Structure 1
């Protein structure tokens, strides 16, 4: 582009000069060796330009003839180089496709056309061909040779790391990854491997420093880097909780600033505050995270914050959590559990049934069974809730790469991946085919529940409501009452049809949960007397 512009400007300058001379005619006289030469200015200018052009053409011809041997040599060298790079390109493609024979052939051709000491890609092609052919010792030697060249150092370390990982030489793989990460923190594989190794060893400070380097090198975006750093700070805080509560508190609070809904960080911070006898700050931390992410571990820590609290005090604290996050299953369950401990069965049953209508889960029905056992001891109703718990969806847990853990861990014990644990339902514990919604299942469970046994008035023919088929379309009705009085049981018995219904669980007298029918017993005795 610059040359074209310069050419245009030169043509314009010549045209302007000749135009200027044409507007100002004149003559030019030259006296040389006794001879007078006269000509116009236009002719004189033309002769000068012609002489300059001839001089330039002659100089170009002389230069071309003088440099022709070098030009010819450079032409053939460029041709050989192009053929060598073509062979090298074909060999790399063949190595990527797994064609070891063609890769080896192209490598030999490239070595004949190119100098191996000036083209490092030949070593790369040889190493890839050796790996494909299974000659790993030769491949490791080539990768080691690459590490001596600054241009191929990172590639050689990568190859050595892969070979060490293949041989399960974890210490050697760690050293190669750390060497690459220290020299080039922008390499994702080196930074990831080094970070995982440091996390497994519990070197949290080194891991945080490496993570900061990755963030500066723009390997990770800001949100991902903040989340991983919060996890590392939480793990560091857990290690310092017993010996250095103040350091654990500071690390956990810094983690909460980076990830406000990180449940383990809130629990560690609260425990650190409790070790410093600062109940108010501990409760404040737990309440802030509870608003964002209601979690049963937060609720348990919040309720057990003061060891001297009575069951009634814990119930009040549970109701405080429910007020912070209303219409939530975890809020209802924690209040129901606290009310059960406080022997307030009516409130516990109401909250548990509300949680069952909101989300059909194993924990909900097991809690209802505990309430039934503590209040009435009715084995029929207890077995009913236990059966519903077997059919309901399982409770969430800490899961990472298919591994279920009782507590949160910073890294996965299976793959070593950082921040792998999630609070969710395990895949191998998902419920079977769903025939109806969780809300319908809860309503059906409450509707088919046997009545509570009464002790105030003996009801002779008290029978449970017949079981409703699972395919019956449920109507929108008001929630069933938690308890049945003796008067209501008598009214239902009087309104029952003449045909005797089947018991809810099994047949009497095999099932201890069903009261034996006295009329049937009298009929059996009369039939036996007739036989005698």
Structure 2
């Protein structure tokens, strides 16, 4: 609509100008250097208009001719870039498909067409890795460090190479540089924390986690969990170094951050128990059991109860599990204690409930013990044992990153060295390998943290009073 209005306005103006000239005829006389020109005003105006149009056309033609060489070069460059980007795309596809020969060929083609190292170095490095040429790949990654736009990608490649080669020193150096460039990258933080914890540098790892929490680079829940794990390890190391007050403060803070951490709970309860604070230590375990039951909590609880009759141990387990009696771990703990106290009816009642709630292998093994001890029926006991071999596996510690299972909790996976990835759950059917719990976390860490007997720990009275 607006364009139509403008068009008719322009036509009206042109018609008005023509009419104005027609209504005002006249003559033009020009004398210059002996030349005389006499004509009407309309003819003169038309001649001027034609001259202007002619000169404008010549100017446009001159500019077009002048611009052609540059346009030809630009067009050729665009065609080469288009071919280069197509080759780059095909090269990345070849890397994804695992075709090393085609990837290397396309990497050379991209380099000749684009002349942009920032675009071709990564493809060349990946093609070299795919071909098994780690030396060439490292050289490409190192070249990427010289350019700001590819420095972070080059560091990532060098970090992965160092980790594959078990070169933790180089991996740590490159990771620290990558963290300086992009501290918000989650994989850089995880790599740094894992490298520090692998060498037993718990304090350095904790500082990284605290910084990530302050800058909101890590969720609150994950940060509290990781800090609790790190503080637990620091407490163990402090006990080994006979820094008992420091150890107590560390494990107390770990427990407050994450009461569901069974390792921190057991360590804190044992320290308090050895100082005569058995009632307080039992309350700590009862709170953790209420939040997240775990067999190690029940074992520690009964150790604190001490050398009493089996019936008293049963009563202690009932006290421990009073707030969540229907949880499978609570029922199993009661069933075990009842069986030891020769309470066959209570044992049977709990096992029947467990068959409905959580029919895992341990339930049928306990049925076999009940058949053997209560009814002295060896045939029935063997049937229960047979059923246990076909039942679902019991819950254990499973690494959420690599799926490896372990008997006991550890701050690091002993298979993939990942930190704070062990979860208490049923292991996958495809993976049943158990890592022995007595393997060290690393030669350096094993030297720093041998097995600790918390019974030898003595805590100053004023430190104990802070928990009251």
TM-score, scaled to structure 2: 0.67
Structure 2 match to 1:470: none
2:249 is the counterpart of 1:250: no
Other-structure match for 1:352: 347
> What residue number does 1:422 align with?
424
Match of 1:192 in 2: 190
Tell me the CA shift for residue 204 of structure 1: 3.3
Partner of 2:294: 295
Name the residue aligned to 2:67.
67
Distance 1:295 1:384 in 2: 32
Pair 396,105 (structure 1): closer, same or farther in 2 beyond 3 Å: closer
CA contact (8 A) 1:143 1:159 kept: yes
1:364: which partner in 2?
366
C-alpha separation in 1, matches of 2:88 and 2:430: 50
| Structure 2 counterparts to residues 40-79 of structure 1, below 5 A | 57=57, 59-79=59-79
Question: CA separation in 1, counterparts of 2:255 and 2:101?
Answer: 57
* Corresponding position: 1:16 with 2:15: no
- Looking at structure 2, the residues matched to 296 and 250 of structure 1 have their Cα atoms a distance apart, in angstroms, of 23
Can you give the 5+ residue segments of structure 2 that lack an aligned partner in the other structure? 31-37, 356-362, 433-468
Corresponding position of 1:398: 397
Q: Deviations over 1:447-466 (max 9, x none)?
A: xxxxxxxxxxxxxxxxxxxx
Separation (CA, whole Å) in 2 of partners of 1:411 and 1:285: 25
| Contact 1:263/1:289, CA 8 A, preserved across alignment | yes
SS of corresponding position for 2:322: helix
C-alpha distance after superposition, 1:462-515 (max 9, x if no partner): xxxxxxxxxxxxxxxxxxxxxxxxxxxxxxxxxxxxxxxxxxxxxxxxxxxxxx
Partner of 2:324: 325
Partner Cα distance (2:297, 2:254) in 1? 18
Aligned counterparts of 1:89 and 1:77: Cα–Cα separation in 2: 18
Where 1:422 maps in the other structure, the secondary structure is: strand
Unpaired segments ≥5 residues, structure 1:
1-7, 373-379, 431-532
Are the structure 2 counterparts of residues 302 and 100 from structure 1 closer, same or farther at C-alpha, using a change threshold of 3 Å? closer
**Structure 1's 11 and 208: CA in aligned 2 closer, same or farther, altered over 3 A?**
farther
Cα 1:189–1:250 shift into 2, 3 Å: closer
Q: Greater helix percent: which structure?
A: 2
Q: Is the 8 A contact 1:234 1:268 kept in 2?
A: no
Task: Report the counterpart of residue 411 of structure 1 in structure 2.
Answer: 412
Q: Distance in 2 between matches of 1:398 and 1:300?
A: 17
Q: State the shift of 1:70 in Å.
A: 2.0
Find the aligned partners of 1:199 and 1:239 in 2 and give their Cα distance. Answer: 11
Residue 413 of structure 1, CA deviation: 1.0
CA distance in 1, matches of 2:162, 2:77: 41
The structure-2 alpha-carbon separation of the partners of 1:13 and 1:299, relative to structure 1 and needing over 3 Å to count, comes to same
Contact 1:398/1:408 (<8 A) preserved: yes
Mapped partners of 1:15, 1:294: distance in 2: 86
Match of 2:452 in 1: none
Cα pair distance change 1:57/1:13, threshold 3 Å: farther
Structure 2 equivalent of residue 494 of structure 1? none
Higher RCO by CA contacts (8 Å cutoff, separation 6 or greater): 2
Paired positions, count? 399
1:209-228 equivalences under 5 Å are 209-211=207-209, 222=219, 226-227=221-222
Instruction: Using the TM superposition, name which of 71-80 and 268-277 deviates more.
Output: 268-277
CA spacing shift, 1:392–1:59, aligned 2, 3 Å: same
Structure-2 change in CA distance of 1:106 and 1:327 (3 Å) = closer
CA RMSD of aligned residues (A): 4.5
Flag the 1:414–1:389 CA change in 2: closer, same or farther, 3 A.
farther
Give the conservation status (yes or no) of the 8 Å contact 1:231–1:410: no
**Cα 1:31–1:267, aligned 2, differ >3 Å: closer, same or farther?**
farther
Deviations 1:209-244 (A, max 9, x none): 444666789876x4xx62464044234224316432
Contact 2:228-2:258 within 8 A present in 1 as well: yes
Note if contact 1:91-1:106 (Cα within 8 Å) is conserved in structure 2. Answer: yes
SS at match of 2:376: helix
Match of 2:235 in 1: 240
Cα distance change, pair 324–68 in 1 and its aligned pair in 2 (3 A): same
> Relative to structure 2, which stretch is displaced further, 137-146 or 421-430?
421-430
Correspondence for 1:136: 134
When normalised by structure 1's length, the TM-score is 0.60
Give the Cα–Cα distance (whole angstroms) in 2 for the partners of residues 31 and 56 of structure 1: 27
Give the Å deviation of 1:157: 2.0
Q: CA distance change for structure 1 residues 405 and 131 in 2, over 3 Å: closer, same or farther?
A: closer
Cα distance in structure 2, aligned partners of 1:51 and 1:107: 58
Structure 1, residues 382-415: CA drift from partner, whole Å, max 9, x if none? 8568646633537544344676544311221112
Is contact 2:234-2:250 (8 Å) kept?
no
Show the counterpart of 2:446. none
